[in-house]
Amino acid sequence: AGTTWPSEILYTIYHDGDVEKCRQDAVSNQMPFLEMKAPEMLSGVELLEKTPSLWLVKTHLPVLLLPTSFWDKDRKVIYMARDPKDVVISYYYFYQMDKMHPNPGTLGEFLETFMAGKVAYKSWYEHVQDWWEKKQEKQLLYLFYEDMKKVRVQKILRFLGKEVVEEMVARILHHTSFQEMRKNPAANYETMPTALMDHSLSPFLWKEISGDWKNHFTVAWNKCFNQHYWEHMASSDLRYQMEA
């Protein structure tokens, strides 16, 4: 859903816009990925344990699997959401290059797998709705990928209670643009071993645009997905900027 984007923004904000410092280490070390566990690498938990002054943690976990102590601390949370059709496409290409995931098969097969909730982190519908409901209780900023170009840095700064300084905002906007992040090994996961992430199959940062699903979905797939989506989202007041 594009979580690397706000991750890089947050890391740059907490280093006062010092983009050179942000380029010195990989994003996976800058912001420990809580549930990450890969061969011959420190796990997310191990990285957290060795981080002396922790500001930021990344996770894809559903609400129910987060440690209770996390909520007890009343930390601020930023959740990234995206048009589910674009999520399917981005996820499909990610499955191809990330060797820690099973072979996704054809796009048609993966679409069925996604709708059935048989992907990592299970049902997309449950995931987004549970986090949306948590928004009512906790300090949670629910961001939509489609709005990121317009409001991403200013909105995040205000949520964190930080001053909006235009010069720093401009520097962060440039550093976290898709073009800059895609050529930055510290942000695009090129520092990961090829045995874990094969960038020759697909870049980690797939595409910045919204609506790329139109280049991949058939008419039949789109009709089927729309019906499935509304069956699972009808009872929720959460509404995505999803094109028909």
Domains annotated on the chain, with CATH = 3-233 (3.40.50.300)
Question: What residues are labeled active site?
Answer: 60
- Please, what is the end-to-end C-alpha distance for the chain in angstroms? 19
Higher local confidence (pLDDT), 109 or 207: 109
Q: What is the pLDDT of residues 74-109, one digit of tens each?
A: 788 999 998 999 999 988 988 887 888 888 999 999
Return the half-sphere exposure (C-beta side, CA atoms, 13 A cut-off) of residue 177.
Answer: 8
Global pTM reads 0.85
CB atoms within 10 A of CB 140: 16
Euclidean distance between CA atoms 23 and 198, whole angstroms: 21
Contact 149, 241 (CB under 8 A): no
pLDDT grade for 207, boundaries at 50, 70 and 90 = low
Q: Token digits for 134?
A: 């948590």
Chain mean position to CA 43? 19
Specify the 3-state DSSP secondary structure of 77. Answer: strand
Amino acid 96: pLDDT: 81
40-71: string of b/e by CB count within 10 Å (b at 16+)? eebebeebeeeeeeeeebbbeeebeeeeeeee
Euclidean distance between CA atoms 106 and 220, whole angstroms: 16
